Amino acid sequence: MMKNTLKKVLPLTLCTAMVLSACSGAAKEADSTGEGTQPDPDQTYDISYTGQWCYSDYEDGSFAEKMIEDALNINITVEKAETSDTIDLLLASGEMPDCMWTESKTPNWMQEQELIRTIPRSMVQQYCPKIIEYYEKNPLIYKMVLNPENEDEFTCLAGLTFQFVDYYLPGDFYRYDWIENLGIDLGVNVEQVSDRLYVADDGITLSKFIEIMDAFVNQDPDGNGQNDTIGATAPDWGIGLIGQFYSAYGFMRDINNADGKAEQCYAMNEYKEFLKGFQDLYAKNLLDTEIISNDRTIAWEKVNTGVAGYWLSSMNTLNSWAMDRPPLTLLERDPDAKILATPGLKPDGGEVMAAVNPTPAYGKFYVNANVDDAKLAKILEFFNYTIFGDGDKEVMAKLLFGEKDVDWKWDETGEIPVKINKLNSGDKGTWSFSQFGQTEEVTKWVGEEELFQAGGKYWSSSEDGSWLKWQHRPYKTDLANETGYEKINQSISGDLDAYVASYRTQAVLGQIDVDDTWEDYLKELERIGYDTMMDELEAIPSIEEMIEEYAK
């Protein structure tokens, strides 16, 4: 039976008392839990760091960096390593910074390599009580970050984002002006929510989708008298968006419940039907011939130039951060273009299935094994400042958007930052420290601009969007790394991913008969280690069972 860690969290009133007590006296020697530890108020601490948007072109001494240094009396050295490869090189060199954000390394691996120290829970409660509040509201996060051998300490801290859970669904986009030109009855209710944005109240059925793609390819939807338009295009196969197509065949990306057994989507019988269906669509020229490419810019350009009338995306691409891609680039280039957003595809007689994250946890914040408690206290101040702006929303706005009244200003309500100078992420240090601090308020700042808000009643959790009922968490996920799943996955993922991609490509291109080769495909997955990997998950409860346990 899973332990209910909620009962072990100190009450917030006690956390507050600890903070007041610690602040009233001189710095104390840490006990075994770190409780009461304070940084030396007369010392300027040197803190090395890396995180999101810390590319090689990061500007040392950036606006955000200097603001943090001045506020906390620290000197920051930013290690320029963000991608998995560069982080691997950084760690292999023995130069792990004092603290870092990454999503590519598990706590188990970091501990096995003796790279990190644990973080006393009492110190997090003392310096970051707000993060504890979020963990209490979303207790599955405890499974991800508490030390399984000692629940009074964390192996790492998780940040937050509400963009990918309980916020909005991924979406499908169509050229609605083409649909109008062709007189296609979509079989769903469509509402015009802004000048050129239309929204469907339900998913498009697979049979209707095929009808639309056939018309886009063969019936001159743009009315130029030429046979120069194509069917479905998609960003790529590598970032999960292609999984939106799976909904049309009755399953979703990631780990599904296959008659009570955890299965990756690519090992399910429904996936076999998806491959056969796509093979048929490809043979009929209803899919972009380059749909299997991993270069999403190819698809974007085909949409932006009016060649393609359907693509996959997520609803937050209606916001200005996505000016380099459709739909915004298309709307800017073609004043006659109209866009239809739908929650996805569904089987005839079925429902949309959209995969969402099980928690709002975002990223992992690790602390170097050589950091002592006094410096850890300062690092936790740094964590709290960059995640929550130390309780000051203007600080958070500066960390995200740059200089006030230069790069942004408050709107007329004084609640929402309005961009003046649209910086790229990383410019002036924006997002480099605060990427993983997307509270509900910040999520609205970055995810609810005017065009997004126009259809918010469908996809925004702040409006209890009607599309949200189709969100589904994965069936099982080893949140605490308490099985051998992740270790096996890391050891076989190279061969496994390559084989799945190769088989998929051959299937879609019609180079193999899926029915005839499916059993051999499954046997090869087993040989690589798939069955051994998935058997590990049978030892842990499902996500829904975990939620029920924490609710007791």
What pLDDT, in 10s, does the model give residues 224-271? 999 999 999 876 665 556 778 999 999 998 899 999 999 999 999 999
Q: Rounded to an integer, what distance in angstroms lies between the CA atom of residue 443 and that of residue 437?
A: 9
Cβ(434)–Cβ(290) under 8 Å? no
Q: Rounded to an integer, what distance in angstroms lies between the CA atom of residue 107 and that of residue 99?
A: 14
Q: Rounded to an integer, what distance in angstroms lies between the CA atom of residue 320 and that of residue 453?
A: 13
Relative to beta strand 354-355, strand 471-472 is parallel
Whether pLDDT at 542 is above 60: yes
Say what the alpha-carbon torsion angle 200, 206, 209, 211 is, to the nearest 10 degrees.
Answer: -130
Amino acid in the structure at residue 365: F
Could you read off the pLDDT of 441-484 as tens digits, one per residue? 998 888 788 899 999 999 988 788 999 999 889 999 998 888 99
pLDDT at 23: 36
Collapse the DSSP code of 153 into the 3-class scheme (helix H, G, I; strand E, B; otherwise coil) and give the result.
Answer: strand
Say what the alpha-carbon torsion angle 126, 401, 356, 363 is, to the nearest 10 degrees.
Answer: -50
- Mean pLDDT to the nearest integer, 398-422: 93
| Residue-by-residue DSSP string for 131-146 | HHHHHHHSTHHHHHHE
pLDDT at 448: 81
Cis amide leading into 129 (omega within 30): no
Relative to beta strand 119-120, strand 310-314 is unpaired
C-alpha distances (whole Å) from 47 to each of 286, 310, 371 are 55, 48, 10
Q: Which helix (H) or strand (E) holds 501?
A: helix 485-508
Whether pLDDT at 22 is above 80: no
Residue of 301, 269, 279, 319 whose CA lies nearest to 442? 319
What Rg do the C-alpha atoms of the chain give, in angstroms? 25
Whether pLDDT at 293 is above 90: no
Amino acid in the structure at residue 476: K
pLDDT at 93: 85
Say what the alpha-carbon torsion angle 541, 544, 550, 552 is, to the nearest 10 degrees.
Answer: -110
Whether pLDDT at 396 is above 70: yes
> Which of 85-89, 198-202, 234-238, 345-349 has the lowest average pLDDT?
234-238
25 pLDDT tier (thresholds 50, 70, 90): very low
**Per-chain mean pLDDT for the chain:** 89
- Find the largest Cα–Cα distance for the chain: 81
Sequence-separated (6 or more) residues with CB below 8 Å from residue 441 = 393, 396
Could you read off the pLDDT of 508-517 as tens digits, one per residue? 999 999 999 9
List helix spans (H) across 170-268. 176-182, 206-218
Per-residue three-class SS string for 310-368: EEEEEHHHHCHHHCCCCCHHHHHHCCCCCEEEECCEECCCCCCCEECCCCCEEEEEEEE
pLDDT at 26: 32
Most confident of 182-186, 417-421, 458-462: 182-186
Ordered strands of the 197-200 beta sheet: 190-192, 197-200, 339-342, 170-175, 310-314
Instruction: Specify the DSSP class assigned to residue 248.
Output: G
Q: Which helix (H) or strand (E) holds 43?
A: none
Q: Rounded to an integer, what distance in angstroms lies between the CA atom of residue 250 and that of residue 265?
A: 11
> Which of 81-95, 139-153, 484-498 has the lowest average pLDDT?
81-95
Q: Rounded to an integer, what distance in angstroms lies between the CA atom of residue 436 and that of residue 421?
A: 22
Could you read off the pLDDT of 217-232 as tens digits, one per residue? 999 999 999 999 999 9
Could you read off the pLDDT of 315-342 as tens digits, one per residue? 888 988 788 899 999 999 999 999 999 9
16 pLDDT tier (thresholds 50, 70, 90): very low
Tokens 């003796």, located at residue: 114
Residue of 519, 482, 532, 535 whose CA lies nearest to 3? 482
Amino acid in the structure at residue 366: Y
Residue of 533, 214, 195 whose CA lies nearest to 336? 195
